[in-house]
Amino acid sequence: MIEFDPFKKIGEEWALFGVSAEGESNAMTVSWGEAGVLWNKPIFTVFIRPTRYTYGLSEKTDLATLSFFPQEYKKTLSYFGRVSGRDENKLEKLSHRTENGILTFDSAKLTLVGKKLYYTDIDPRNFVDPTLESNYDNDYHRVYVYEIIDVKE
Ligand SMILES: Cc1cc2nc3c(=O)[nH]c(=O)nc-3n(C[C@H](O)[C@H](O)[C@H](O)COP(=O)(O)O)c2cc1C
């Protein structure tokens, strides 16, 4: 597999969660996520609030990418995390391609290609630590677990 520190790569450097469905593509910045092993498969997990435009697209396809960029792209990632694909065609800002339903970015230094295995919704009744509720305004994340089916470096 790959050398991958999720605390650094996802938590500090951030990533783009990209999907393409029914002829439309979009991507959004994520900094909460996981990478590891589940059901004997290499996986990544993302947490997407239902209010995100990307959420609607990710419901329509089982494929997605998690893309990592050189640090000089941080401003661009900030833009992808501030502006919604509902309001602007964000993808105009980054050279990209869609092949077989998989959205990739030419400037990404690492791309994890995922195939959806499982989803569930964060249930506040299960918050053991009640302070977690402060992260939400009734917009509990949908948790998507993707099997990593390809790695592009
Ligand atoms: C650093 C950073 C990390 C983010 N992480 C997440 C995340 O893990 N999950 C989420 O739902 N939104 C996250 N967001 C917010 C979305 O990226 C943001 O709402 C984005 O505009 C949604 O785009 P969309 O409406 O085109 O899908 C993050 C934003 C930033 C700036």
Give the Å distance between the CA of 2 and the centre of ligand 1. Answer: 25
| DSSP conformation letters of 3-15 | ---HIIIIIIT-E
What average pLDDT does the segment 7-22 reach?
A: 97
In a 13 Å sphere around the CA of 103, the CA atoms on its Cβ side amount to 27
CATH of 6-152, one of 3.30.70.100, 2.30.110.10, 1.10.1740.10, 1.20.1560.10: 2.30.110.10
Kindly report, residue by residue over 76-133, the tens digit of the pLDDT.
Answer: 999 999 999 999 999 999 999 999 999 999 999 999 999 999 999 999 999 999 999 9
Top mutation candidate among 10, 29, 53, 57 for ligand 1, by most atoms within 8 Å of CB: 29
Pocket lined around ligand 1, Cβ cut-off 6 Å: 14, 26, 28-32, 47-49, 52-54, 78, 81-86
Residues 89 and 53 sit within 8 Å (Cβ to Cβ)? no
Q: Encoding tokens for residue 81?
A: 């995390």
The pLDDT value recorded for residue 1 is 65
Residue 2 pLDDT exceeds 90: no
The pLDDT value recorded for residue 51 is 97
Kindly report, residue by residue over 18-71, the tens digit of the pLDDT.
Answer: 999 999 999 999 999 999 999 999 999 999 999 999 999 999 999 999 999 999
Kindly report, residue by residue over 111-123, the tens digit of the pLDDT.
Answer: 999 999 999 999 9
Top mutation candidate among 14, 28, 143 for ligand 1, by most atoms within 8 Å of CB: 28
Q: Which residues pair with 132 in a beta bridge?
A: none
